[in-house]
Chains A and B, each alone.
Chain A
Amino acid sequence: MTDPTMRITRRDFARFSLAASAAMLGGSRTLRAAPPSGEPIRIGVLHSLSGTMAISETTLKDVILMLVELQNRKGGVLGRPLEAVVVDPASNWPLFAEKARQLLAVDKVSATFGCWTSVSRKAVLPVFEELDGILFYPVQYEGQECSRNVFYMGAAPNQQAIPAVDYLLSEDGGGAKRFALVGTDYVYPRTTNQILQSYLKQKGISDADVMVNYTPFGQSDWQTIVSQIKTFGSAGRKTAVISTINGDANVPFYKELAAQGISATDIPVMAFSVGEEELAGMDTKPLVGQLAAWNYFQSIDTPANQAFIQEWRAFTKNPRRTTNDPMEAHYIGFNLWVQAVTKAGTTDHDKVIETMVGLKQPNLTGSVAEVLPNHHITKPVYIGEIQEDGQFNVVWQTPRAVPGQAWSPFVPETRNLIGDWRAPIRCGNYDTVKKACLGTRHV
Chain B
Amino acid sequence: MSERRRRVALLVLLGVVLAGAPAPSRAQTSDRTTSDAASPVDPFAGLTSPHFEAIAAAVGRLGAEGAPQAQAVLRALSAHHLFVAEDGGLYVREGESWTDARTGAPVASAPAGARMVRENNRVRGALAQAMAGQALLGGDAAARRDAAVRLADHPDPAMLPVVERALATPHEAGLDVPLQRARAAMLLSPGAPTTGEQAQSAAVRVLRDAGGLDARAVLARFAADEAAPAEARKAARRAIVTIDRRIRLWNLGQQVFYGLSLGSVLLLAAMGLAITFGVMGIINMAHGELVMLGAYTTYLTQKTLTAVAPGLAAFSLPLAVPVAFLVCGAAGMLIERGLIRFLYGRPLETLLATWGLSLVLQQAVRSLFGPTNVAVATPGWLAGSFQLGGLTITLDRFAIMLFAGAVMGAVLLVLRRTALGLQMRAVTQNRRMAALMGIRTARVDALTFGLGSGVAGLAGVAVSQIDNVSPNLGQGYIIDSFLVVVFGGVGNLWGTLAAAMTLGVGGKALEPLVGAVSGKILLLLLVILFIQRHPRGMFPLRGRGVES
Contacts and interface: CB of A to CB of B under 8 A. Distances in A.
Instruction: Check A-B contact in the complex, CB < 8 A.
Output: yes
B25 A366 contact: no
Interface size class of B (residues with CB under 8 A): 35 or more
B20 interface: yes
Contacts of B261: 223
Contacts of A79: none
Given A174-B122, A236-B217, A304 B13 contact: yes
Contacts of A285: 377
Contacts of B467: 220, 251-252, 255
A26 interface: no
A20 interface: no
Contact of B385 (A260, A266, A277, A300): A260
B528 to A, nearest CB: 18
Contacts of A50: 362-363, 366
A234 B216 contact: yes
A227 B223 CA distance: 23
B219 A54 contact: no
Contacts of A367: 14
A54 B370 CA distance: 9
A236 B220 contact: yes
Contacts of A218: 472, 476
Contacts of A234: 213-214, 216-217, 220
B310 interface: no
A77 B120 CA distance: 45
Contacts of B306: none
Contact of B373 (A52, A236, A278): A278
A52 B396 contact: no
A301 interface: yes
A225 interface: yes
Interface size class of A (residues with CB under 8 A): 35 or more
A394 B22 contact: yes
A289 B124 CA distance: 8
A248 to B, nearest CB: 6
B217 A281 contact: no
Interface in B274-293: none
A135 B516 CA distance: 35
B385 A52 contact: no
A258 B22 contact: no
B517 A185 contact: yes
Given A172-B120, A234-B214, A259-B395, A366 B14 contact: yes
A55 B372 contact: yes
Interface in B498-523: 507-508, 511-512, 515-517, 520
Interface stretch (A121-129, A154-162, A395-403): A395-403
B24 A394 contact: yes
B396 A259 contact: yes
Interface string A44-70: 000001111011101100000000000
Contacts of B511: 224-225
B25 A303 contact: no
Contacts of A258: 378, 383-384
Given A58-B371, A236-B224, A397-B24, A228 B17 contact: no
A145 interface: no
A255 B397 CA distance: 11
B468 A252 contact: yes
B21 A282 contact: no
Interface string B452-471: 00000000000001111111
Contacts of B428: none
B239 interface: no
Interface string A88-125: 00000000000000000000000000000000000000
B16 interface: yes
B16 A302 contact: yes
Nearest to A368: B10
B101 interface: no
A443 interface: no
Given A234-B220, A395-B24, A265 B512 contact: no
B392 A227 contact: yes
Nearest to B51: A172
A291 B466 CA distance: 21
B214 A223 contact: no
Interface string A228-248: 101101111100000000001
B34 interface: no
Interface centre among A54, A59, A224, A258 (most CB of B within 10 A): A224
B52 interface: yes
A15 B313 CA distance: 44
A49 B124 CA distance: 40
A283 interface: yes
A251 to B, nearest CB: 5
A396 B10 contact: no
Nearest to B521: A216
A219 interface: yes
Nearest to B510: A224
A397 to B, nearest CB: 5
Contacts of B223: 236
B221 interface: yes
B220 A224 contact: no
B375 interface: yes
Interface in B333-392: 362-363, 366, 370-378, 383-385, 392
B265 interface: yes
B267 to A, nearest CB: 14
A223 B470 contact: no
Interface string B385-413: 10000001011110000000000000000
B262 interface: yes
Interface in B1-49: 10, 13-14, 16-17, 20-22, 24-26
B124 A259 contact: no
Interface string B206-232: 000000011011111111100000000
B516 A171 contact: no
Contact of A261 (B118, B385, B466): B385
Given A220-B467, A221-B265, A236 B20 contact: no
B254 interface: yes
Contacts of B219: 236
B482 interface: no
Contact of A174 (B121, B373, B395): B121
A365 interface: yes
Interface string B40-71: 00000000000011000000000000000000
Interface string A257-287: 0111100111010000000011011111110
Contacts of B26: 396-399
A96 B323 CA distance: 40
Contacts of A301: 17, 20-21
Contacts of A224: 255, 258, 508, 511-512, 516
Contacts of B216: 234, 236
A215 B517 contact: yes
Contacts of A55: 371-373, 470-472
Contacts of A225: 511, 516
A142 interface: no
Interface centre among B10, B119, B254, B371 (most CB of A within 10 A): B371
Contacts of A266: 154
Nearest to B370: A58
B506 to A, nearest CB: 13
A289 B121 contact: yes
Contacts of A228: 512
B125 interface: yes
Interface string B255-268: 10010011001000
21 contacts: A55-B371, A56-B372, A59-B372, A172-B122, A213-B515, A214-B515, A216-B517, A220-B476, A223-B258, A236-B217, A255-B378, A260-B385, A261-B384, A264-B124, A280-B372, A281-B468, A282-B375, A283-B378, A302-B21, A366-B14, A367-B14
Given A219-B516, A234-B213, A288-B124, 4 more contacts: A213-B515, A255-B467, A281-B468, A281-B470
- Which 5 interchain pairs have the tightest Cβ spacing? A281-B373, A236-B221, A236-B220, A265-B125, A234-B213
